[in-house]
Structure 1
Amino acid sequence: MISCSGAVFAQETKPVDSTKIETLDEVFVTATRTERQLSSLPLPTSIILSSDIIKAGVTKLNEILSEQTGIITVPDFGGGEGVQIQGMDSAYTLILVDGVPLIGRSAGTLDLYRISVGNIDRIEIVKGASSALYGSEALAGVINIITKRPKYDMFAGGISERFATFNTHDVNGNLIWKKKKFSGTFFTNYHSTDGYDFNDQPFIQTVEPNHDITVQPRFYYDFSDKLTLIAGLRFYKNEQDYKAIIEDENCEGKSDVDEWGAQFRLEHKWNSKIESEYEFYSTNYKAEEFLNNPEGQRFDDSFYNQWLFRPEIRTTFSINKDKLTTGVGVNHETLERTYFDNRITFDSQYFYVQYDYNPIDKLNILAGFRYDIHNQFQSQLSPKLAMNYKISPSISLKTSFGYGFKAPDFRQLYFDFTNSSVGYTVLGYNVAENRLDTFEVQGQLLSRVEGISFSDHLKPESSVNFNLGSLYQKGKLKMDVNAFYNSITNLIDTRVVAQKTNGQNVFSYFNINEIFTYGIEYNATYKFSSDFRVSFGYQYMVAKDKSVIKAIENGEVFARDPITLESFQLTKSDYFGLFNRSKHIANIKLYYSIPKIKTDVSLRVIYRSKFGLFDTNSNQILDIYDDFVNEYYIANLSLSKSFKDKITLQVGANNLFDFTNPREISNIPGRQVFGKLQFNF
């Protein structure tokens, strides 16, 4: 997708203010649902400040997340772009906006392109199983986008326009105000682009022209010092050209996405020891698309309509230096879509308990659990335990253990989708056998993969996550290191089950008996001065299937020499791991401010080592003899200049050295040069 710009608030564009913000120990709420300083948390966490987002010049959530250590943004079958954390797919990362979840995972991935960064105060990232607080979608972690909130009497705002490569235009507006008891924010963003094209086919582009609009008002009313009402709304609409070549005919139509969400929360401070939050959240995600044939007659229609209603009550009890947090809630979710026979309903109830215990000043223990009752699968208990021990004022050790659970969703069970333009097919496990038989009778099937069976039931997934790390922070240097291990039983993943006569694959969902991922992540930041800092991040990660390792040990896995065409037995060292996982990812970032001329420079370089997308030697695993996507580097550069704190000019280039790999990486379109002008008031 093409990025759009994000407007920023006037008081936060000043270089001096940004520097001051960076020196503070940031407040973090996602990991515990209570305010905690980032350095004191016993869990693997990170935070992205609005000042860094502004300096980087990024405009969509996928852009800023792709620059973070341990996170890879990957495209999915439906054209969206999700995140991979600690080697786990994007379906297992929960995305929140102000603490409430986004929906609309039409292809298993929640598309990060839907979220503009223009009104973000900070992004909080928790890595590792977080089901003890957030339920079954948080096996890999949680990303919480927290929007700006006025803290004192003020009235400010900004408008901006951004022009970029591919005829991309963005117009943004921001307001923030507070007057006595009433305050609020208002953010809007309009984006349009001509898209980009990697295809040789003149009729179809890789990304078709599209435009979208986001509107986010949020209001606060203080009835008293102890009672505050918060009302937040979010509207998003996207329209995109939809084209396909079907049986040598050029078909075209439109694809529309409409999303809205409403959040109402009452914050009540009973006294100095008890605080409660009463929250109601409702959201709807609707997508429709159609294709007409060259004569203008309707060829294909599809729709997706998902609703979520969730009331929740949370209470925190302060007990001396400790905190006890409890919560109870209900989820009611419905889904109607083209590729299901019936309307689907999910009903669940849950409660959770968490104890934040500080037996001595140097030791913090975080323990808790969540219990889910669901109408589609058995009740589930998800515990967690974490500890942070401060060895000295500069060094702390942290460790955490968490358990997660995720039942197969209806997409994995009953999906029946064929991409009419490309031709690939994705089938739910329960319908795959009958549909493959139908394809065979219709002459659409070239071959089936040997050894694939649909005789068993698709089972729920469970995950155990372990982290062990350390934080060092003294003077100008800050370093943290974290070793992680995930053991996922009955992981549900896609595999090729057949090949169609058009050359495209048929995919379905399977339990992989036991997957494990392990690795180490390292981050370091050094501030040479208040105006110049450099950071470095690196992750080494291995992700493998234990059943494949066992089969190799039993001498059951072979590969074919591409030259001699002779088969030979593989060893464990020949097994590379799971598809679309890189063993090495790294980044280096430089931020330099020149206060005298009110100028900021931001340079970020991101590296990803080789990875495999498909089995290319027909043994159904990724081994070192398969074809790989080569390693690559992406460099992003931006320069910002402020004039009297009212006008900001920003220029830059994403993918500065114009890296592309059209055949294997569809979400990197090449160099994107941009310029942005903003007026603050």
Structure 2
Amino acid sequence: MKTYITLLFISVGMLVSAQHSILKGKLFTSTEDGIVVPINGADVHWKEHPVMKTVSDSLGNFELMYHAGLYNIIAEKEGFVQLEMKIESVNEPVELFMEAEKTAGEKSLNEIIIRERAKAVSIKSNSVSLTYTINKSELLKAACCNLAESFETNPTVDVSTTNAVTGSKQIKLLGLDQKYTSITVENMPEVRGLTSANGINYLPGTWINSIQLTKGGSTVNNGYEGITGQINTELLKFKDKNFTHINFFGNQNARLELNVVNATKLDRDWSNTSLIHLNGRFSKEDMNHDGFLDMPLSKQVNAMNILRYDGIQKNGWGSIFAVQALYDKQIGGEKKFRESTDRLTQNYYGLGIENSHFEIWNKTGYVFLNKPYQSIGLQTKYIHHNIDSYFGQRLYIGNQNTFFTNLIFESIIGNTNNKYSLGASYLHDSYNEDFENVNFNRNESVPGLFAEYTNTSLKNLTVVAGIRSDFHNLAGTQILPRLNVKYSLFPKTTLRMSGGRGMRTANIFAENMQYFASSRKLHIKQNNGDVYGLEPEIAWNYGISMIQDFNVGKVKNTFTIDFYRTDFTNQVLTDLDHSAQELWIYNLEGKSYSNSFQAVWDIFPIQNLELHFAYKWYDIKAEYMDGKKQVPFTSKNRGLFTASYSTNETDKKSKWVFDFTLQYIGKQRLPDTSRNPLEFQKRAYSPDYGLMNAQISRHFSEKLRLYIGVENLGGYKQNHPIIDSENPFGSYFDTSVVYAPIVPAMFYAGFDVKL
């Protein structure tokens, strides 16, 4: 390890200068009448070095910095087919013709390659890690009201309801809880700490421009916490023209949502984007007649403002400044519960969860105009989050203040075949929590250093090696290496391998709030650690994947398989088996691992029709106090089928879109309730079942879309999800043994308007 670190830092220090010049060009397209017109606002960048980019002006002109090792440029703009061109001579101006998005397949025009329209979900071809890009069209395929629900049609991420009373949703990556995934917004930490419980529900789907989902160890530049991967969300922002988006959504359970996004250009370099989200659930529904609300009543106000400066082409500087404020409240429990009279009493069982959130962040970057391959960026973020909650007569109050900053310098060694980044980070978390009138508080201070080296010298091979060292005041110094390799075995066959180490400190209350609505008594088995008396969680993750593109006749196919293993050297376990009336939390003593295998087959049989088949297999076990067991609430086998079809109409702006999703969820091990009285026992394993979702959208124009849909079309639901629902203050009351939906088919409708 010492040799590796020494060689890495010696390599990134060998910086030499490189020659550069300017490539000039012009972008055109043609109208339906055949008139040739320039394209304004198209993004143009080097395929080999995407950071070196520019934007075409009102006359279609662009200028792009060039240096040795760059060969291909890419031009892209919403509404046009992506264009790629090989540059033979940088001294000759180039003229590029872009075609409006209307045909699929590939066409060749001299050296220009016109590719088929962008897929709703695609694997980033230039990424050395296995990274999926989920764009806006994929988010429109279902009732995507927040980030958690945006993965309902995605085979890589599992979405599940975790509690029969709160109805909150959680996601899993590689079969492990979302707490092991780094969830970021604009590549800065977002869902972590006290927001672990509900934070993924606080990112409205209409605010999202795209999602980048990385499986396995991600770049060291983004921190030390990502063990199973990273989910990064890019927000909607002003791009090349003013716009206002309005979205309204409603379902039969009186869940209503209103979203407004307004983007305005202030002057040549400045723009502003305002995002507003309002939602509420206003109807008391008890469809299974157990006396409890199927979903809590709720209301949320969420607003963000993004001020952006883009002077990269003029002076090398770019900056984004954003502020967000959120208030969310949920009230659930028995249908007869009234908060004003019954809170914290035994009149009727009730729960209330009140979250307030404020954050302010900035990203500022500078590209050296005389060395466009060289840049420096600073990220800074402050978060204040407060939870005030009660579950029957149990109280939990939490307060978090977080400051994060990250400085990254990127450059090359000789040419762009040898890139490197160096950086320093600092993370400070201040927590103050009260659980059942016992106070827990701590301060985590974590300065860190990191370096990453990328080599593309060998044909078809890319290697990214990184290492970071974080000096945690409570968890000690942590050395975290990560390695990613991509190799193009054949023109249509790509192999990827990854390995790395991750670390995190557990937030045991926020991460286990789904169990607080039960009568289980919490026990913390301390281990002389400095975080709740527990030691940090540390794990190694390894993975390999293969992507194969092939044609059967004229039908395009893509087949992807991957296998990942996660080995915990230390873990904070949540034990529901030791006693059905207790919840034990303690450090791992023994082995804990996760094996994840996934196979995906994508077929594009005819124009505008996409078919996707996926199968997943999990083997996830840990050594609990009572022995080695399969982790509960995890299906060993899962399957997914999605179909999407859109019509072609004469005006090329209006169309019908049909989307269908079928999920298979295999049996899951359930927590042990065998020592309960017979009437309060659950079976050891859940039955397997299937879920269907469907949606029909009508695009009347580029500015208006109406949609209707149904979730859980087959109506499958878990019967009697609450144990001893007639005695909520008794010792057997338990709302946490949830493995399936608790409500039948749910119909919804909505519309989008673009102004």
Tell whether the structures are fold-level matches, with TM greater than 0.5.
Answer: yes
Measured in 1, the distance between the counterparts of 2:514 and 2:258 equals: 36
If you compute each CA radius of gyration, which structure gives the higher value, 1 or 2?
2
Measured in 1, the distance between the counterparts of 2:687 and 2:156 equals: 19
The answer to whether 1:73 aligns with 2:171 is: no
Distance 1:304 1:195, change over 3 A: farther
2:419–2:454: 8 Å Cα contact kept in structure 1? Answer: yes
Distance 1:527 1:199, change over 3 A: closer
The answer to whether 1:167 aligns with 2:216 is: no
Q: Residue type of the partner of 1:582?
A: S
Q: Residue type of the partner of 1:486?
A: T
The answer to whether 1:43 aligns with 2:104 is: no
Measured in 2, the distance between the counterparts of 1:417 and 1:58 equals: 24
- 2:599 aligns with 522
- Of residues 204, 213, 226, the one that matches 1:116 is 204
SS state of the match for residue 675, structure 1? strand
2:521–2:583: 8 Å Cα contact kept in structure 1? Answer: yes
Please report how far the alpha carbon of residue 201 of structure 1 lies from its aligned counterpart in structure 2 after TM superposition: 4.8
Please report how far the alpha carbon of residue 184 of structure 1 lies from its aligned counterpart in structure 2 after TM superposition: 3.0
Measured in 2, the distance between the counterparts of 1:605 and 1:26 equals: 18
Q: Residue type of the partner of 2:239?
A: K
* 1:116-163 per-position Cα deviation (integer Å, ceiling 9, x unaligned): 1102111111122348344443112211111123332x1112213222
Distance 1:170 1:18, change over 3 A: farther
For 1:212-231, what aligned pairs fall within 5 Å after superposition? 212-225=300-313, 226-231=316-321
- Of residues 694, 703, 715, the one that matches 1:637 is 694
Q: State the TM-score, normalized to the length of structure 2.
A: 0.72
Please report how far the alpha carbon of residue 416 of structure 1 lies from its aligned counterpart in structure 2 after TM superposition: 11
1:99–1:144: 8 Å Cα contact kept in structure 2? Answer: yes
Measured in 2, the distance between the counterparts of 1:644 and 1:70 equals: 32
1:14–1:598: 8 Å Cα contact kept in structure 2? Answer: no
Measured in 2, the distance between the counterparts of 1:489 and 1:251 equals: 41
Distance 1:626 1:210, change over 3 A: closer
Q: Residue type of the partner of 1:677?
A: F
Bigger mean CA deviation after superposition, 264-273 or 474-483: 474-483
Q: Residue type of the partner of 1:317?
A: S
- Of residues 646, 652, 659, the one that matches 1:602 is 659
Unaligned 5+ segments in structure 2 are 1-76, 82-99, 105-114, 338-343, 677-681, 722-737
The answer to whether 1:480 aligns with 2:560 is: yes
Q: Residue type of the partner of 1:585?
A: R
SS state of the match for residue 60, structure 1? coil
Please report how far the alpha carbon of residue 238 of structure 1 lies from its aligned counterpart in structure 2 after TM superposition: 0.8
- 1:679 aligns with 753
The answer to whether 1:612 aligns with 2:612 is: no
Q: Residue type of the partner of 1:427?
A: H
- Of residues 544, 550, 574, the one that matches 1:494 is 574
Unaligned 5+ segments in structure 1 are 1-10, 29-36, 293-298, 433-455, 552-556, 558-574, 620-624
1:18–1:51: 8 Å Cα contact kept in structure 2? Answer: no
- 2:542 aligns with 466
Q: State the TM-score, normalized to the length of structure 1.
A: 0.80
* 1:642-675 per-position Cα deviation (integer Å, ceiling 9, x unaligned): 2233321111111111121141337553211111
Distance 1:491 1:185, change over 3 A: same
The answer to whether 1:588 aligns with 2:641 is: yes
- 2:406 aligns with 312
Measured in 2, the distance between the counterparts of 1:650 and 1:117 equals: 15
Please report how far the alpha carbon of residue 408 of structure 1 lies from its aligned counterpart in structure 2 after TM superposition: 4.8
Measured in 1, the distance between the counterparts of 2:351 and 2:624 equals: 45
Please report how far the alpha carbon of residue 606 of structure 1 lies from its aligned counterpart in structure 2 after TM superposition: 1.5
The answer to whether 1:387 aligns with 2:485 is: yes
Distance 1:616 1:231, change over 3 A: same
Please report how far the alpha carbon of residue 381 of structure 1 lies from its aligned counterpart in structure 2 after TM superposition: 0.6
Q: Residue type of the partner of 1:604?
A: T
Measured in 1, the distance between the counterparts of 2:226 and 2:103 equals: 33
Measured in 1, the distance between the counterparts of 2:485 and 2:398 equals: 43
For 1:80-91, what aligned pairs fall within 5 Å after superposition? 80-91=168-179
* 1:437-473 per-position Cα deviation (integer Å, ceiling 9, x unaligned): xxxxxxxxxxxxxxxxxxx974433212111121112
- Of residues 321, 335, 349, the one that matches 2:431 is 335
1:103–1:306: 8 Å Cα contact kept in structure 2? Answer: no
SS state of the match for residue 306, structure 1? strand
The answer to whether 1:156 aligns with 2:248 is: no
Identity score, percent: 17
2:577–2:673: 8 Å Cα contact kept in structure 1? Answer: no
Distance 1:349 1:80, change over 3 A: farther
Measured in 2, the distance between the counterparts of 1:465 and 1:309 equals: 28
Q: Residue type of the partner of 1:533?
A: E
* 1:72-129 per-position Cα deviation (integer Å, ceiling 9, x unaligned): 2244577643222222222211211111112464495454222211021111111223
Backbone CA RMSD of aligned residues = 3.5
Distance 1:191 1:365, change over 3 A: same
- 1:562 aligns with none
Measured in 2, the distance between the counterparts of 1:430 and 1:391 equals: 50
Measured in 2, the distance between the counterparts of 1:12 and 1:648 equals: 18
Distance 1:376 1:667, change over 3 A: farther
SS state of the match for residue 359, structure 1? coil
> What is the total number of aligned residue pairs between the two structures?
598
- Of residues 576, 582, 591, the one that matches 1:505 is 582
Measured in 1, the distance between the counterparts of 2:520 and 2:623 equals: 28
- 1:126 aligns with 214
Bigger mean CA deviation after superposition, 48-57 or 633-642: 48-57
Measured in 1, the distance between the counterparts of 2:490 and 2:353 equals: 57
- 1:59 aligns with 145
Measured in 2, the distance between the counterparts of 1:180 and 1:366 equals: 37
Distance 1:469 1:169, change over 3 A: same
